[in-house]
Amino acid sequence: MDKINLERIRTWSEKALKEYLILRNKDVDGDFETLVFRVFSAIENETPIDNESEDRQRLLVCEYKSKLILRGCVIPDPFSLKKNWLSESGSGLYKWPSIYYTDIEKYLRKLEQPDELMNRLDSDYKEGKAYRYYKCEFVKEIYFHEITEESDFCFLKSRVTPSQRTSSTPYHVWAAVKKDNERPGGEINSAYCTCIAGLLGCCNHVIAMLFRVEAAVCTGATKPSCTSVFAKWKVPSGIKTVLTHKPLCDV
Ligand SMILES: [Zn+2]
């Protein structure tokens, strides 16, 4: 395979690379360039599609699509929304819906999470330790998307670093959350993470992003009148590096 083909693979989205590899039972860990070379190698070796993987992938796609159904209506895939994401350091923070711990708890209970996890989160929260889930800038800058002006729900998305390896490639996380209107929103409809356990929508990375939003809501940082609070609210600096490497639409 010549250089042109490698270049061509680099034009694929990260999602497309991963789908290609999953279908062939290949590892999907690593940065973009690692995925490109793995796909390159699979094409070169004519690695066939693994039938079991294909079935599994079909199920995963169905599961993923079910997250994009809101009260009977289909909402767009946040990964396909290229424009109109409002950054946390811009005006996005003021649009974050009022997610409180009760919303996070209700969402996790809806997903029938084990009592052990619920009890641990409950204790951590009551002991003021929920920050542990997003400390050390594990959760990068959070972006807001209104979907449409009329939509009752919005998207929040971020990149979350695997907690054990702060230098490794962050996972992509999103959540569909009810907007604040006349009444506070915060109801979590669905969430997703690109980590191995992320399809369920309740991995540590999703929880970390939700807890960081909750902290901003509880401290008043999401209210434009609280300018002194915003001054103290820390937007993760890591995003600056991320943006120089990849356009925002790929987040
Ligand atoms: Zn995850």
**How many whole angstroms from 3 Cα to the centroid of ligand 1?**
34
* CA-based nearest residue to 138, from 37, 236, 34: 236
Domain ranges of the chain: 3-64, 76-250
Question: What is the sign, positive or negative, of the torsion defined by CA atoms of 102, 108, 113, 116?
Answer: negative
Task: Give this complex's ipTM.
Answer: 0.99
pLDDT in tens, the chain (251 residues): 455 588 889 988 887 888 888 888 888 888 899 999 999 999 888 888 877 777 777 778 888 988 998 887 889 999 989 899 999 988 899 999 999 999 999 999 998 888 888 998 899 888 888 887 777 678 889 999 999 999 999 999 999 988 666 567 788 999 999 999 989 999 999 999 988 888 889 888 999 999 999 999 998 888 877 555 555 677 776 544 333 333 333 33
User: Nearest 5°: CA angle at 120, between 114 and 124?
Assistant: 150
Ligand 1 centre distance from Cα of residue 2 (Å): 36
| 214 alpha carbon – ligand 1 mean position (Å) | 18
Ligand 1 center to 193 CA (angstroms) = 5
Three-state SS for 144? strand
5 vs 240: CA distance, rounded Å: 31
Distance 52 CA to ligand 1 centre (A): 23
Show the tokens assigned to 99.
């997610």
Tell how far the Cα of 174 is from the centroid of ligand 1, in angstroms. 10
Ligand 1 centre to CA of 156 (Å) is 15
